[in-house]
């Protein structure tokens, strides 16, 4: 799907729920490009999900593709932030949650109760590199290190011509403009992952806690991924953390980050190298990623500041119609739904990773 199509759907998503009715035919029909879809097109309609705004353009793609595969099926996904998505799932108000952080601890225990005594699984379906994006007149090539980013977002570095920034940007004319950090004001898995990254990659400068709520004490807040991107675009001297697709939509400049082996430009290729090396900390079909290993990577030409969005589902405990529908949609999203994601700023699933994900989806009962 073209990026323009994703943007057209974005406004609908941002307003709340989105329903896309499918218009395909029987199970195992042809998907885009002539391949056979893994979707069974069975179960109830609509199925409902809520949560992450980081995946909203990907969800637009998934539901649009699914509508070309399964007749009479619909998916309603409400963009409200990862924290709200997990809360609604635990309460049994939606069939799945979209979350940029795995469900854990007491909330995971509560989810197991909702799932009739069965654990909830975290299934990473969407990978999106997180851009450190900025608006600074006259500067279109900026290099930062994780430590500099941490100092900026904690207020220790306050102007763009700070000597520490100048030291890694030799030959660049940096203005004395004040830096305005812009962060997510809502409960956000993007915030959680970005703070985890700073804790892992810049532990001396980022000593704050990490959670879905922003811990830093400086800057201005904005709601949702599109909100921080729009705020950054409208604020001279600003800097923010946001998924690449949203930075691209607002034509924001993105910093090259030096993770320890030289500056790395954010691209699908450099992010894919990091995803190829990802490992799991979860067990069995609960595919929780080892983000500590990912975020501390310094492999050359690799961009490890990558956000994974999980679809949180009941491993068992759904009624038969819900289980069939959730599996059908997720199988479509994991296969033909990956086509077009790169144009929307995401990284399609590597083949080996997709194989393990599909195994987990098929195990939902």
Kindly report, residue by residue over 144-184, the tens digit of the pLDDT.
Answer: 999 999 999 999 999 999 999 999 999 999 999 999 999 99
Of 32-36, 241-245, 297-301, the poorest mean pLDDT is in 32-36
Whole-number pLDDT of residue 346:
92
Strand pairing category for 47-51 and 74-79: parallel
Question: Does an H or E element contain 263, and which?
Answer: strand 263-264
Assigned architecture for domain 129-274: 3-Layer(aba) Sandwich (3.40)
Whole-number pLDDT of residue 278:
87
Taking residues 27-40, report their average pLDDT: 61
Is the pLDDT higher at 123 or at 3?
123
pLDDT at 349 over 60: yes
Two structure tokens written together for 99: 């979350």
pLDDT at 12 over 80: no
Q: How far apart are CA 352 and CA 358, in angstroms?
A: 10
Taking residues 9-35, report their average pLDDT: 39
Cα-trace Rg, the chain: 20
Q: What phi and psi, each to the nearest 5 degrees, are found at residue 132?
A: -95, 100
Q: How far apart are CA 256 and CA 245, in angstroms?
A: 16
Closest by CA position to 25, among listed 47, 40, 44, 43? 40
Assign domain 3-128+280-288+308-362 to a CATH class.
alpha beta
pLDDT in tens, 214-229: 998 799 999 999 999 9
Query: Where along the chain do the CATH 3.40.190.10 domains lie?
Result: 3-128+280-288+308-362, 129-274
Confidence class for position 36, pLDDT limits 50, 70, 90: confident
Whole-number pLDDT of residue 328:
98
Two structure tokens written together for 332: 């479509």
Whole-number pLDDT of residue 38:
85
Strand pairing category for 220-222 and 263-264: unpaired
Whole-number pLDDT of residue 201:
96
Q: Which residue has tokens 């800057």?
A: 219
Report which listed range, 36-45, 53-62, 173-182, 202-211, is most confident: 173-182
Confidence class for position 297, pLDDT limits 50, 70, 90: very high
Closest by CA position to 17, among listed 65, 70, 88? 88
If you write DSSP's letter for every residue of 145-201 in order, what string do you get?
A: -HHHHHHHHTTS--BTT-HHHHHTSTT-----PBPEEEEE-S--HHHHHHHHHHHHH
Whole-number pLDDT of residue 358:
97
pTM of the model: 0.79
CA angle 72, 67, 356 (to 5 degrees): 110
- pLDDT averaged over every residue in the chain: 89
Whole-number pLDDT of residue 35:
57
Strand pairing category for 47-51 and 96-99: parallel
């Amino acid at each position: 799907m073209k990026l323009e199509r994703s943007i057209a759907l974005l406004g609908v998503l941002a307003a709340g729920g989105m329903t896309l009715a499918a218009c395909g035919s029987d199970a195992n029909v042809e998907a885009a490009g002539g391949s056979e879809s893994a979707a069974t097109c069975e179960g109830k309609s609509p199925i409902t999900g809520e949560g992450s705004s980081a995946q909203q353009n990907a969800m637009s793609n998934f539901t649009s593709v699914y509508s070309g595969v399964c007749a009479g099926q619909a998916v309603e996904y409400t963009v409200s932030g990862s924290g709200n998505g997990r809360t609604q799932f635990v309460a049994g108000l939606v069939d799945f949650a979209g979350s940029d952080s795995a469900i854990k601890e007491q909330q995971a225990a509560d989810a197991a109760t909702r799932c009739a005594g069965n654990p909830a699984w975290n299934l990473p379906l969407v990978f999106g590199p997180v851009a450190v994006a900025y608006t600074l007149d006259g500067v279109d090539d900026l290099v930062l290190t994780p430590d500099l980013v941490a100092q900026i977002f904690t207020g220790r570095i306050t102007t763009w011509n700070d000597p520490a920034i100048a030291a890694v940007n030799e030959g660049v004319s940096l203005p004395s403009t004040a830096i305005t950090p812009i962060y997510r004001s809502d409960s956000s898995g993007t915030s959680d992952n970005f703070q985890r990254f700073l804790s892992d990659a810049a532990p001396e400068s980022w000593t704050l806690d990490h959670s879905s709520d922003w811990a830093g004490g400086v800057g201005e807040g904005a709601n949702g991924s599109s909100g921080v991107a729009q705020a950054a675009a409208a604020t001279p001297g600003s800097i923010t953390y946001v998924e690449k697709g949203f930075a691209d939509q607002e034509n924001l400049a993105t910093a090259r980050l030096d993770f320890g082996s030289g500056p790395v430009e954010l691209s699908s290729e450099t992010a894919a190298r990091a995803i190829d090396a990802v490992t799991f900390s979860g067990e069995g079909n609960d595919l929780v990623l080892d983000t500590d290993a990912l975020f501390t990577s310094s492999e050359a030409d690799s961009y490890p500041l990558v956000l994974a969005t999980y679809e949180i589902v009941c491993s068992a405990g759904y009624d038969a119609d819900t289980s069939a529908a959730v599996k059908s949609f997720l199988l479509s999203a994991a296969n033909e739904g990956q086509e077009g994601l790169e144009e929307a700023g995401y990284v399609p699933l590597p083949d080996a990773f997709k194989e393990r994900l599909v195994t987990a989806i098929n195990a939902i009962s």
